[in-house]
């Protein structure tokens, strides 16, 4: 039960006579409505806790929004846990599962395309995904065999799983790729085409060398039993798998240089952070230096975390990074980085100064003190109100027992409220969490996936909560403002990755990143939505967009109307020869 607490495809839009105005407050006050029950999204996470304080029971799990059946709307995938511990059974669970007979991941079909209502039905049975069992952590979405259908990579505290879509709402577990079934404790993963050969490769973040079998007892400052942290166990190395064609993978962790660094990886996001046209990888580590893997264009990567200014915070200290996202928060045409951290620390915003050099602007932009009391996990740079400036959503939940909840006898005393930071137009952010009443409720929040579930041009939110029901929040502000959306098809692949979106006019350049990776253990809507409310546009505006596909190819598409999604396919636009 919840309780209230206090509180890279480059796409360029060229417009004539564009100007940015100061953002306006929007009414009504409530920007999001909780539609979980009304939509039929009935999922309750099970963490398998039995009182032993197993480390892995507090970390999961994530979710994905993707079009599983090709009908043009987003379906929902929820990652499930399992019973933990040698010899433990469901009878030992302190928080029994909602449905003991269905401890597997769940696929919910969105009925919007056929009914015009935001409603879901559970279609797991018969989909093949009844076999998606294990202690689930996260999910990544990408088309690994270029057949036009989105496939799933599931991370676990144990062997991972690759599930291939058959194109008819069913999936088969890939048996021809045993190398991607990493047996370690994996968390976030991301698909990317790092060698630009037209096939999606796979990056997998691994956490620490922990299993319930090697569990150790940890104590809090008062000497009472408490959950261990990452320093209690050795860190793992992440893994990079190269797609050799048609969804077959080879492990290139060592040859690429990725294996040179170990870390307690929790969050992963990809993007062209140094502007050289090759997709890079940023990894958020828990209480260790973060990694910025810069693509050398020859199949190898170099860690530029320290040199770029993104390995540690402004005080030179490694922090507990959980969720990460990348986007152009200051509208200057390059990718910035935001990440969530442990309570007592602050969340961190690194602004890109150009060429992949970053500065910590967290305190200057008003993001420090408001985040200090919370432990953040899932996060997203989302233009909540479609004004053209990316806002920040962070969902929170502690990892050490909170004293007041312990005294109240709560079984999982980790509940915290969630936060919305509204972008004030590149000058500062303000905590506007009260605009989302559901955020005042206390949960052990973990995953966050953003996407336009009702195809009305604004981003809705799917949240996962540890040992509690998932939550669906409908955006009720963005669709009232001008917008334009893009459904991108790169070559044969239905879900292109490593993409960007730009709007240029005079000194103004807006950048939006395509793809599904970001947040924490979750996958977002692959489509791109651009809010236009702050732009001085006539009602009949026709837009021209420039797309840089993930292989570096650039094209323009013209005469595009606002207020709708446009399918853009690689090879059908006008070629642009000059490099930007």
> What mean pLDDT is predicted for residues 421-445?
91
Select from 169, 510, 462, 518 the least CA-distant residue to 330: 510
337 or 536: which leads in pLDDT: 337
Residue 21 CA, chain-centre distance (Å), reads 29
Q: Are 342 and 333 in contact (CB under 8 A)?
A: no
Beta strands in 35-178, from DSSP E residues, in sequence order = 63-66, 75-78, 106-110, 120-122, 136-142, 151-156, 158-165, 171-173
**Percent of the chain whose pLDDT exceeds 70:** 92
- Spatial neighbors of 91 by CB under 8 A, at least 6 apart, are none
Kindly state the tokens that stand for 553: 């190819």
Measured between alpha carbons, how far is residue 456 from residues 31, 118, 144, 342 in Å? 14, 11, 29, 35
- Spatial neighbors of 364 by CB under 8 A, at least 6 apart, are none
Select from 526, 442, 447, 521 the least CA-distant residue to 488: 526
Residue 408 neighbours by CB distance under 10 Å:
10
**What's the pLDDT tens digit per position in 262-276?**
999 999 999 999 999
Residue 298 neighbours by CB distance under 10 Å:
9
Measured between alpha carbons, how far is residue 462 from residues 131, 156, 327, 473, 524 in Å? 23, 20, 20, 6, 9
Measured between alpha carbons, how far is residue 136 from residues 84, 159, 415 in Å? 11, 10, 21
431 pLDDT above the threshold of 60: yes
pLDDT for 168: 83
List residues bridging with 382 in a β-sheet: 391
Asked which of 130-139, 413-422, 454-463, 478-487 is least confident by mean pLDDT, the reply is: 478-487
**What's the pLDDT tens digit per position in 232-248?**
999 999 999 999 998 99
DSSP string, 435-491: GSGGGGEEB-EEEEEEE-TTSSSS-EEEEEETTSB-EEEEE-SGGGS-EEEEEEEBT
pLDDT for 9: 43
**H-helix or E-strand containing 405?**
helix 403-407
Select from 227, 190, 183, 225 the least CA-distant residue to 207: 183
pLDDT for 29: 66
**Percent of the chain whose pLDDT exceeds 90:** 75
Q: Give the whole-angstrom CA distance, residue 427 versus residue 454.
A: 32
Confidence of residue 80 (pLDDT cuts 50, 70, 90): very high
Q: Are 445 and 418 in contact (CB under 8 A)?
A: yes
Q: What value does the mean pLDDT of the chain take?
A: 91
Q: Give the whole-angstrom CA distance, residue 160 versus residue 178.
A: 10
**H-helix or E-strand containing 404?**
helix 403-407
Question: Length of the chain, please?
Answer: 580
Residue 6 neighbours by CB distance under 10 Å:
7
3-state helix, strand, coil in the chain (%, to 5): 10, 40, 50
**What's the pLDDT tens digit per position in 171-229?**
999 988 888 998 999 999 999 999 999 999 999 999 999 999 999 999 998 999 999 99
**What's the pLDDT tens digit per position in 326-373?**
999 998 889 999 999 999 999 999 999 988 899 999 999 999 999 999
Helix (H, G, I), strand (E, B) or coil at 408: coil
Confidence of residue 550 (pLDDT cuts 50, 70, 90): confident
List residues bridging with 338 in a β-sheet: 325, 349
Asked which of 28-32, 301-305, 546-550 is least confident by mean pLDDT, the reply is: 28-32
Q: Give the whole-angstrom CA distance, residue 62 versus residue 108.
A: 14
Residue 360 neighbours by CB distance under 10 Å:
19
324-327 and 336-339 as β-strands: parallel, antiparallel, unpaired?
A: antiparallel
579 pLDDT above the threshold of 70: no
**H-helix or E-strand containing 204?**
strand 201-206
pLDDT for 382: 96
**What's the pLDDT tens digit per position in 562-575?**
999 999 888 898 89
Q: Which alpha helices (DSSP H) does 171-263 contain, by range?
A: 253-256
> What mean pLDDT is predicted for residues 60-73?
95
DSSP string, 50-79: -SS--GGGGT---EEEE-SSSSSS-EEEE-
Select from 431, 437, 484 the least CA-distant residue to 456: 484
Whether the bond into 109 is cis, omega within 30 of 0:
no
515 pLDDT above the threshold of 70: yes
Q: Is 51 exposed, middle or buried (0-12, 13-18, 19+ CB in 10 A)?
A: exposed
pLDDT for 455: 96
Asked which of 303-307, 313-317, 417-421 is least confident by mean pLDDT, the reply is: 313-317
């Amino acid at each position: 039960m919840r309780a209230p607490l206090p509180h890279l495809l480059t796409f360029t839009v060229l417009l004539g006579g564009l100007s940015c105005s100061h953002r306006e407050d929007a009414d009504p006050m409530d920007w999001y409505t909780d539609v979980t029950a009304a939509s039929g999204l009935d999922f309750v996470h099970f963490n398998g806790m039995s009182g032993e304080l197993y480390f892995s029971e507090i970390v999961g799990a994530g979710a994905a929004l993707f079009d599983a059946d090709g009908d043009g709307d987003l379906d929902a995938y929820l990652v499930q846990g399992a019973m933990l511990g040698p010899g433990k059974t469901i009878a030992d669970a302190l928080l029994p599962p909602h449905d003991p007979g269905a401890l597997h991941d769940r696929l919910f079909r969105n009925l919007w395309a056929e009914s015009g209502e935001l409603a879901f039905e559970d279609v797991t049975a018969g989909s093949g995904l009844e076999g998606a069992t294990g202690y689930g952590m996260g999910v990544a979405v990408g088309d690994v065999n270029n057949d036009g259908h989105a496939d799933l990579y599931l991370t676990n505290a144990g062997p991972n799983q690759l599930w291939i879509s058959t194109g008819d709402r069913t999936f088969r577990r890939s048996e021809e790729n045993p190398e991607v079934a990493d047996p370690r404790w994996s968390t976030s993963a991301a698909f990317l085409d790092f060698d630009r050969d037209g096939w999606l490769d796979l990056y997998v973040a691994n956490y620490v060398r922990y299993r319930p079998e090697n569990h150790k007892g940890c104590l809090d400052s008062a000497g009472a039993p408490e959950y261990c942290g990452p320093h209690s166990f050795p860190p793992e190395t992440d893994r990079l798998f190269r797609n050799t064609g048609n969804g077959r993978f080879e492990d290139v962790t060592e040859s690429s240089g990725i294996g040179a660094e170990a870390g307690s990886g929790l969050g992963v996001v990809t993007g062209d952070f140094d502007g050289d046209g090759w997709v890079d990888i940023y990894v958020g580590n828990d209480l260790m230096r973060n990694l910025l893997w810069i693509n050398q264009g020859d199949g190898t990567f170099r860690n530029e975390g320290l040199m770029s200014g993104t390995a540690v915070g402004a005080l030179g200290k490694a922090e507990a990074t959980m969720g990460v996202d990348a986007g152009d928060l200051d509208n200057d045409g390059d990718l910035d980085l935001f990440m969530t951290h442990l309570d007592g620390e602050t969340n961190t915003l690194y602004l890109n100064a150009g060429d992949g050099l970053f500065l910590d602007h967290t305190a200057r932009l008003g993001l420090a003190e408001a985040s200090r009391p919370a432990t953040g996990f899932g996060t997203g740079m989302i233009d909540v109100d479609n004004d053209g400036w990316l806002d920040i959503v962070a969902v929170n939940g502690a990892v050490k027992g909170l004293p007041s909840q312990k005294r109240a006898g709560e079984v999982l005393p980790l509940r915290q409220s969630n936060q919305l930071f509204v972008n004030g137009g590149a000058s500062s952010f303000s905590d506007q969490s009260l605009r989302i009443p559901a955020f005042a409720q206390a949960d052990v929040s973990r995953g966050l996936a953003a996407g336009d579930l009702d195809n009305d041009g604004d981003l809705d939110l799917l949240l996962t909560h540890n040992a509690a029901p998932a939550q669906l929040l409908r955006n009720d502000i963005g669709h009232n403002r001008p917008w334009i959306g893009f459904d991108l098809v790169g070559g044969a692949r239905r879900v292109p990755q490593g993409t960007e979106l730009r709007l240029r006019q005079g000194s103004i350049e807006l950048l939006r990143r395509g793809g599904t990776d970001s947040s924490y253990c979750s996958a977002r809507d692959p489509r791109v939505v651009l809010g236009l409310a702050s732009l001085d546009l006539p009602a009949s505006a026709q837009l021209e967009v420039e797309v840089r596909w993930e292989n570096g190819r650039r094209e323009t598409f013209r005469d595009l109307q606002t207020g709708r999604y446009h399918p853009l396919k690689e090879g059908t636009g006008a070629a642009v020869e000059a490099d930007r």
